[in-house]
Structure formats: C-alpha cells, structure tokens
Amino acid sequence: MAPVIHWFRRDLRLTDNTALHHAAEAGSVIPAYVLSTWKREHGWTGPLRQSFLCGCLQSLAANLEHLHSRLIIRAGDAVAELEKLAVETRAAAIFFNRDPDPFGKATEVRVRAMCGRLGIRCESFKDTVLHDPDEVLTGEGQPYRVFTPYSKNWLGLPKAGPLPRPSVLGPAPKVASLPLPAPAYWQLEPVNDPCFPLPGERAARGRMKHFVDDGILAGYAMHRDEPHGQSTSMLSQDLRFGLISIRELFQRTQRHAKFVQELAWREFYMAILHHWPEVLDHEFNPQWRGMAWPGTNEHFTRWREGRTGFPIVDAGMRQLLTTGLMHNRVRMIVAMFLTKDLHCDWRWGEQFFHQHLVDAEIASNNGGWQWSAGTGADAAPYFRIQNPWSQTRRYDPEARYIKHWLPELRHVPVESLVSPPSHGGSIAAGYPPPMVDHAVERERTLALFAQHRARHGRA
C-alpha cells in the first residue's frame, strides 16, 4: 500500500490530531514539516516565537521516534516541497489540518491543485477550532458582527470529542531530511530566559493539567483579570502551535462558563477574519477608515521599550520582551494606551505584538487591537478610554505585577505606583516621568474621533 503524507503545520502534537488520526487509518504515514526560508527579520514573527517553534519541533520529532517514525524536515515553498516529497515517496495522499488564516488558506488552494495535478488525494480537516466560521451563522445565513449572539449560537452547537492518539504510524520513512532547526537557521539568537514557556506537547499537557486540576480554572471567573501570578490558563501559545487540541481543552473546561466564553471569543475573531479578511489592512468598522493617527515614531519607540513612565504599561512591555507573553488584561491596557493616549496607529502595535508574542494568533491579535482602538467588531466604543492609573488600582492594587517586572520600582511605595505623580515628575530615580497627561490625551482622542466623523458626515 502506498504511504500518505501528514503535513504538520500548527498542529505539532500526536494526541487528538484530526488529520494525523485519519492519515494513520489510511496507511503508513510520512510526517513532514516545511520550514520557511526568510532570514533575520520578519513582519509577523521574531526570535521568541521561532525559539518556541524549534523546541516544539524537537519534541514532536522525539514523540514520533517513540512510535518508530521520523519527522521529515524540508525548507522552501510548502507546495513545491510537498510535491517533491510526494513524488519521492510515491505517496497516495496528503493529509493536513486546515489553517484559519488567509495566508494558510491560499496555500491550501495551491496544495489541492498540486494534488490534482499529481492524481493523488488531498484530505483536509477541521482541527484548530470547534466550529468553522460557516457553521455559526445567523438565521439568514449571514456572519455575525457582534459577539453575544454569535456566542449563544456557538455554545448551542454540538461539540466533537477528542480522538485517540495513534499507536502506529508505520515504518520510519527512508527519505532525505534536513536537521531540526535552531533559531540560527533564521539567523536569530536563541532565547534562554527561565520565564520563557517550555515548548512541546508534554510541557503543554502539563500546563493544561495544572490549570484544570490545581484550582486556577475554579478561580478563573473571579481572578482572571489579576496580572500577578497565574490567574489565566497560560495555554494560548499551546493552542497557537497545536500542542493541545481545542476539543480536549473544551471537554475538560466546559463546566466553567467564563473560560468557555474566551474560547468562543477566539473563534469569533477567526470568523471575523474569515468573512472580512480586509481587517488585516483596514478598520473593521467602515466608519473609522481613514482615521488620523498622529502618534509619532518617538512615542511608539518609548512604548515598545517600556519607557512610558506609566508603570502598568511599562511592566507589560517588559514582560512581553522577556517572555513573549503578556497577561490579557495588561494587553488591553497597553493597546489602549498606544492608540488612545499616544494616538499611534493600531497597526503599529498589532505588528509589534506579532513579532514578539509567542502566542500571536493573527485573528485574535487583530481583533484585540481593533477592539482597543475602537474600530473593530463589537469593539469598545471610541469614547471608552481606559485610564492606566485606575486600571492599576483595580487590578494590581498592591503593585505586585509592576514590582516584579520593574525591579527599579520595588522600593517605591504602592501609592506612588497606582496614581499619577502630583508633581508630574519621575516616580523614582532612573525611571522616566509619565510621558503624557492621560486626562489631556483622553480629550484629544475624543476630538480626533469627532473630527473624523464630522469630516465624513456621520452622526
């Protein structure tokens, strides 16, 4: 019987992997991963994510060896490399899980055409989401623009359960393979910070067990907005790289409505991107297209380096730059600060997050930035402008998160970290004073949005 290829993409696990499960049922499996060939810099990733990817591929390769199989690494254009591999191995089919992003979907179109040209089967599967975008539509068959009715429909649909881990994949393929990559492959420096999340399926499953079994999930609804310590699942990078399955995670958390709601938000943003792919370049709400964003490169640089003089903002950026992660509440604070206090284009922040977040998900990242900017689907109204100081008092009242990520402020009294300095100067020696006055910039934001509406004749 001719072998089949399983093309690993963002599903770097063996457990409950839909395409891999069906490939194993179809015959001997050739597991393959195709590396990108860019070097040094990329607009949508960076050293942290690539370091995590390398660790995930090492873990996947080791897990495949335990099944007496072998991960085949190729590099270049995915379609061309898969075609070469199919010809070399005389494969009967290519199996893969579908990608939710426009770039991945465009590649899938080419893969299907290539398979047709070779006369082999092309088998694709839903795996990244519980429900594809076209499964959750209004009664008129239209996509939702607002989360609440979407989530009600989404919650009411039956959910598929997990699939078993394959026990046999066939003999290790005897074809050429590149070595497993290190960050140096992309001419990047490796990341060795102890706060960096451990990559691989085993580490991800350990994080999921810790979240579910050790009281964090039970306290999620009450504590999820507290940035100090672990109050959230810490599984976003594991879903992004497919180290755990969305089906198993839902099965283990389904009795906790607030957390399940976050899973629905993830798929809502993927549906928005599917139905309106133009959101990657333009505001989702046409009312705000062409908005002026007068923020400067200097302001953006201070924001991205964590030198704004607003402790909660700077702490969030330090966490991001160190670990590739940032607490979700803090993401909203720093995003709204960049767009509403510094008046910088949300696309600047979106790209910066994508280059530095280990868990960067194109749909969620875009949706989050447009929500904060007031331009997106079901976004915060433009006049809802979070105050970084009041957010600090509410969610980090003892400044434990701030003092962890800003060691230069560890000896500063808490009251000086949760309210703006009355004198307008620096909170501590060596720490910059607040770069703007929030009250002043709030009024400026309201004026910018009002001016745009007036110019375009909208009430």
Catalytic (active-site) positions = 262, 265, 293, 328, 346, 369
Q: How far is CA 418 from CA 34, 80, 403, 427, 441, in A?
A: 48, 55, 12, 11, 18
Element (H, E) at 82: helix 78-89
Angle at which helices 201-213 and 246-253 pack, to 10 degrees?
10
> In a 3-state reduction of DSSP, which class is residue 72?
strand
Q: If you write DSSP's letter for every residue of 239-283 in order, what string do you get?
A: HHTTSS-HHHHHHHHTT-HHHHHHHHHHHHHHHHHHH-GGGGTS-
User: Using CB atoms within 10 A of its CB, is residue 159 exposed (0-12), middle (13-18) or buried (19+)?
Assistant: middle
Q: If you write DSSP's letter for every residue of 168-226 in order, what string do you get?
A: ---SPP-S--PPPP-GGGGT------TTSPPPSHHHHHHHHHHHHHSSTTTTHHHHTT-
Contact yes or no for 393/418 (Cβ under 8 A): yes
Instruction: Of 83, 81, 112, 85, give the one whose Cα is nearest residue 96.
Output: 112
Contact yes or no for 95/23 (Cβ under 8 A): yes
Rounded to whole angstroms, the Cα distance separating 111 from 115 reads 6
Distance linking the first and last C-alpha atoms of the chain: 67
Contact yes or no for 82/50 (Cβ under 8 A): no
Contact yes or no for 97/125 (Cβ under 8 A): yes
Give the amino acid at 387.
Answer: N
Rounded to whole angstroms, the Cα distance separating 14 from 244 reads 9
